[in-house]
């Protein structure tokens, strides 16, 4: 049973206000995806290697996935507001510690502060508005998850554009300090709006099964979900899509500079454009999924990336390079936004925080595999080409996995477009 954060005598909050707070949370948390713009400045300032700085991003993504797995359970049982407040404190402190690490040249503190503490806070914050808003908007499940996590992509877009300018004007450590102060204050404000609806609440005039994004067969708990092959199929699908996308994200700025010859500020603009598509893809694909079904959307997301990843290493045109990266990030974001609705369609929304949190462990695992794959291949071959070819092969495997998906037949349910 989802925990309720407000006594029954309190006035019912407007779900649109909660949605706005959720988007703001995700936008602030999404600043982690602009990490590549900090990579070369940190290397130049302290003589650290690409792998050493890159490990920070690996740690933060792994910790996001691990914390999301635990955070979903906390949201279900102890209340969203408490989890969101803890997330604000941890991510804010982690970002501030990155400033200390950058000032004093303490690599271990960068890993501990931004990578571990900040990553754990980010994961707790990420899962909270997703789990809350799916319950407030059962009538627009795909759209609301897309709108919510769209902020995560937009946060990187904004940071990718602003951070290079701040680094040049006020310095690297001061940029982290400023970001840490901003995210701490604004995340804390957004956390006060994170409340679950009362048990049994539903929108006026709406009944379960209305529309194409119908309710799942029969709500089940985490134990029941772990006994179904669909859980592992969804986990593997998310892992593959994230591995391919995050391999590109983690080195997008260096790739743009080495392959195309962009300046650091121009490469930051590439990060901005691709991250903007990451955000827009989350609303676009989730909106489409409410109309054609989650399964078909994932087949499109996975299948259309394959030829582009095969072509990308040979691209020399700046326009073509940016266009391909933007589309891959469009699909990357779409996987994140469609997966919560896919999980809810499959297992029900009652225990979504707990079940989806465990699915998000795939994000943490992919956050290790993707960047390390890129770093290893680049170190061995001097380019990122082979890693992108491997990512294309993984996407083909994911396409095959999604082809085998069938909704669990636990009870009689309305016919939907997701039926296999």
- CATH number, domain containing residue 271: 1.20.1250.20
pLDDT in tens, 108-166: 999 999 999 999 999 999 889 988 888 888 887 778 878 887 888 788 878 878 998 99
Instruction: For residue 216, name the pLDDT band (cuts at 50, 70, 90).
Output: very low
Where would I find the H helices in 312-409? Answer: 318-347, 352-359, 361-381, 385-403
The whole-model pTM stands at: 0.74
Q: Are 344 and 290 in contact (CB under 8 A)?
A: no
Whether residue 23 is predicted with pLDDT greater than 80 in this model: the reply is yes
Answer yes or no: is 320 within a domain: yes
Name which residue leads in pLDDT, 326 or 373.
Answer: 326
Report which of residues 405 and 247 the model is more confident about: 405
Give residue 219's pLDDT. 64
Does 3 fall in a domain? no
The answer to whether 390 and 262 have CB atoms below 8 angstroms apart is: no
What confidence category does residue 8 fall into, taking pLDDT thresholds of 50, 70 and 90?
A: very low
**Is 354 domain-assigned?**
yes
Q: Is residue 137 part of a domain?
A: yes
Examine the pLDDT at 419 and tell me if it is beyond 60.
Answer: no
The answer to the question of residue 10 being in a domain is no
Q: Is residue 9 part of a domain?
A: no
- Both tokens of residue 199? 């048990």
Structural domain contains residue 72: yes
| Mean pLDDT value across residues 378-392 | 82
- Taking the CA atoms of residue 37, residue 39, residue 43 and residue 48 in that order, the dihedral angle to the nearest 10 degrees is 170
Encoding tokens for residue 365? 């695992």
Cα separation of 143 and 134, whole Å?
10
Residue 25 lies in a domain: yes
Task: Look at the chain and report how many structural domains it folds into.
Answer: 1
At 149 the pLDDT is: 79
Please state, in angstroms and rounded to a whole number, the distance separating the CA atoms of residues 130 and 340: 8
Q: What are the two backbone dihedrals, phi and then psi, of residue 291, each rounded to the nearest 5 degrees?
A: -105, -40
Residue 249's pLDDT band (cuts 50, 70, 90): confident
Domain of residue 237, residue span: 15-198+211-403
């Amino acid at each position: 049973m989802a925990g309720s954060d407000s006594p029954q005598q309190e006035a019912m909050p407007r779900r649109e206000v909660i949605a706005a707070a959720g988007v703001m949370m995700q936008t602030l948390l999404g600043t982690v995806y602009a990490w590549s713009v900090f990579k070369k400045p940190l290397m130049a300032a302290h003589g650290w290697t690409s792998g050493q700085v890159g490990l920070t991003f690996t740690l933060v993504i792994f910790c996001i996935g691990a914390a999301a797995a635990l955070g979903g359970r906390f949201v279900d049982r102890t209340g969203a507001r408490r989890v969101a407040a803890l997330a604000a404190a941890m991510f804010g402190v982690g970002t501030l510690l990155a400033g200390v690490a950058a000032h004093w040249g303490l690599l271990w503190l960068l890993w501990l502060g931004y990578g571990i503490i900040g990553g754990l806070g980010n994961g707790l914050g990420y899962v909270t508005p997703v789990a809350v808003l799916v319950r407030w908007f059962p009538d627009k499940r795909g759209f609301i998850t897309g709108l919510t996590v769209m902020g995560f992509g937009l946060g990187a877009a904004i940071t990718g554009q602003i951070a290079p300018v701040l680094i040049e004007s006020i310095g690297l450590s001061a940029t982290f300090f400023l970001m840490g102060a901003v995210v701490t204050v604004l995340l804390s404000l957004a956390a006060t709006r994170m409340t679950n609806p009362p048990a049994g609440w539903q929108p006026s005039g709406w009944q379960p099964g209305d529309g194409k994004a119908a309710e799942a067969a029969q709500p089940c708990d985490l134990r029941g979900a772990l006994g179904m092959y669909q859980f592992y199929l969804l986990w593997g699908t998310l892992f593959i899509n994230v591995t391919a996308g995050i391999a590109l994200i983690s080195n997008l700025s260096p790739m743009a500079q080495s392959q195309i010859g962009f300046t650091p500020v121009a490469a930051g603009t590439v990060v901005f454009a691709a991250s903007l598509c990451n955000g827009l893809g989350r609303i676009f694909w989730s909106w489409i999924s409410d109309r054609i079904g989650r399964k078909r959307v994932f087949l499109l997301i996975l299948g259309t990336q394959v030829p582009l990843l095969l072509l990308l290493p040979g691209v020399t045109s700046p326009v073509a390079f940016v266009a391909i990266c933007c589309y891959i990030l469009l699909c990357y974001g779409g996987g994140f936004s469609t997966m919560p609705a896919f999980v809810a369609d499959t297992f029900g929304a009652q225990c979504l925080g707990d079940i989806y949190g465990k699915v998000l462990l795939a994000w943490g695992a992919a956050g290790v595999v993707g960047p390390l794959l890129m770093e290893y291949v680049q170190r061995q071959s001097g380019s990122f080409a082979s890693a992108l070819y491997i990512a294309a092969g993984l996407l083909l495997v994911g396409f095959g996995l999604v082809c085998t998906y069938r909704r669990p037949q636990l009870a009689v349910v309305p016919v939907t477009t997701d039926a296999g």
